[in-house]
Amino acid sequence: MVSKRIVLKFPHSLVDKPIAYHLVKDYDLVFNILQARITPNEEGLMVVGLSGKKENYAEGIKFLKEQGIIIQPLDQDVTRNEKRCTHCGACIAVCPTEALSLDRKTMKISFDPSKCIACELCVRACPPRAMRVKF
Ligand code: SF4
Ligand code: SF4
């Protein structure tokens, strides 16, 4: 079983194509849209959770790439600048998934990218602009 959060970038021509339908029906994958938007240059962008059997997952990813979709792991796109972070805690109040949380042992704010859904709320809440979401 494989379960990953990934970012899909696809050309405008594919925006209305039933990509999720094929992943579910043809590859027996669970497809969970965490975020979707059209960027100003009209590329489609989706943050999704994708899970299923290992071989089905690999075939589903191959299918996406064959459609011209660019795929990258979510944790490459959401980062924290450790030098800038002052551990003020402003971000944990807005983070909906507890990807940002207080480590009670160190009393510092820890960041777990595997829980992040790239909602960008922390980017706006962070006074020194330590959080970055780059798509
Ligand atoms: S709001 Fe910014 S500076 Fe404050 S703890 Fe969160 S990431 Fe660090
Ligand atoms: S983008 Fe920031 S606020 Fe949103 S889930 Fe990720 S860490 Fe939490």
**Where do the structural domains in the chain lie, given as residue ranges?**
2-74, 78-133
Establish whether residue 130 lines the binding site of ligand 2, counting it when its CB lies within 6 angstroms of any ligand atom: no
The highest-level CATH class for domain 78-133 is alpha beta
Longest dimension (CA), the chain: 50
Cβ-based neighbours of 123, under 8 Å, separated by 6 or more: 129, 131, 132, 133
Q: What is the pLDDT of residue 18?
A: 87
Cα(8) to centroid(ligand 1), Å: 27
| CA dist., res. 30 & res. 106, Å (int) | 37
Fold equal for 2-74 and 78-133: yes
Establish whether residue 89 lines the binding site of ligand 1, counting it when its CB lies within 6 angstroms of any ligand atom: yes
Q: What is the pLDDT of residue 109?
A: 97
Is 92 in contact with 102 (CB distance < 8 Å)?
yes
Q: What is the pLDDT of residue 45?
A: 86
Establish whether residue 94 lines the binding site of ligand 1, counting it when its CB lies within 6 angstroms of any ligand atom: no
Nearest CA to ligand 1 atom 3: 85
Mean pLDDT per 10-residue section of the chain, whose length is 135 residues: 89 80 94 81 85 96 93 85 97 95 96 88 96 85
Asked if the 2-74 domain carries CATH number 3.30.70.260, the reply is yes
Nearest CA to ligand 1 atom 4: 88
Nearest CA to ligand 2 atom 2: 122
Q: What is the pLDDT of residue 64?
A: 94
Q: What is the pLDDT of residue 42?
A: 74
Probe residue for ligand 2, chosen from 5, 34, 37, 78 as the CB with the greatest number of ligand atoms within 8 Å? 78
Tell me the per-residue pLDDT of 81-118, one tens digit each, with 9 for 90 and over: 999 999 999 999 999 999 999 999 999 999 998 888 88
β-partners of residue 111 are 100
Write the DSSP assignment of 87-121 as a string of letters: ---GGGGT-TTSSEEEETTTTEEEE-GGG-----H
